[in-house]
Amino acid sequence: MDKRYTHEHQLQADCVIWFAGKYPSMRGSLWGNFAEQGAANAGKKLSLGLVKDLPDIMFRFGYIFGGIELKLPGTRHSVEHLLGQARWLAYNTDGGYFCDSLSGFQYIVETILANQEPLDLSISAHESVIDPLFIINYCYSVKTKTITWNRENFIKFVNDF
């Protein structure tokens, strides 16, 4: 059973701590972007090179460059922002993923490292890992400006499509 989080950065911290403990020799191959620290510092971060819509966690495992955007179930997000994140993951990485649990993060990392290739999301067996293309398609289908993160909605939409 996955731990319940109240803030996305708590999940991100647990993911990074788990990776550092499990793969100490791979230090530097996975890093966070620290984008969730509020609008007050946004101008400063942008002037220092922060890029809009980057995923929370990025990695380079051998030739594989990827990103993982973390979301908490039940949190609200603007459709525009989700589309930007999903497009970035889908079109700028060898493997881009949305994930809403520590066990999902572990599944992504361990599967990529074991197979030495990006995770094939068409056969992904983990319920917490979502294909960015599912997010893009779902966001284009909704009529609202915000949505609540609920992975079942994305899966149901794709299955009904």
CA atoms within 13 A on the CB side of 116: 2
| Number of domain units in the chain | 1
Residue 133: inside a domain: yes
pLDDT band at 7 (very low <50, low <70, confident <90, very high): confident
Here the tokens at position 29 are: 């191959």
Residue 121: inside a domain: yes
> Looking at the predicted structure, is the pLDDT value of residue 161 above 60?
no
For 58-67, write each residue's pLDDT tens digit.
Answer: 999 999 999 9
Interatomic CA distance for residues 90 and 133, integer angstroms: 7
Strands 129-130 and 76-78: unpaired
Residue 3: inside a domain: no
Residue 155: inside a domain: yes
Interatomic CA distance for residues 72 and 6, integer angstroms: 8
> Looking at the predicted structure, is the pLDDT value of residue 100 above 70?
yes
Residue 46: inside a domain: yes
Rounded mean pLDDT, 13-19 = 96
Percent of the chain residues topping a pLDDT of 70: 83
Percent of the chain residues topping a pLDDT of 90: 61
Task: Tell me whether residue 89 is exposed, middle or buried, using C-beta atoms within 10 angstroms of its C-beta: 0 to 12, 13 to 18, 19 or more.
Answer: buried
Residue 1: inside a domain: no
Residue 18: inside a domain: yes
99-111 b/e with 16+ CB inside 10 Å = b? bbbbbbbbbbbeb
Residue 43: inside a domain: yes
Interatomic CA distance for residues 21 and 109, integer angstroms: 13
> Which phi and psi angles does 116 have, rounded to 5°?
55, 40
Structural domain harbouring 88: 8-160
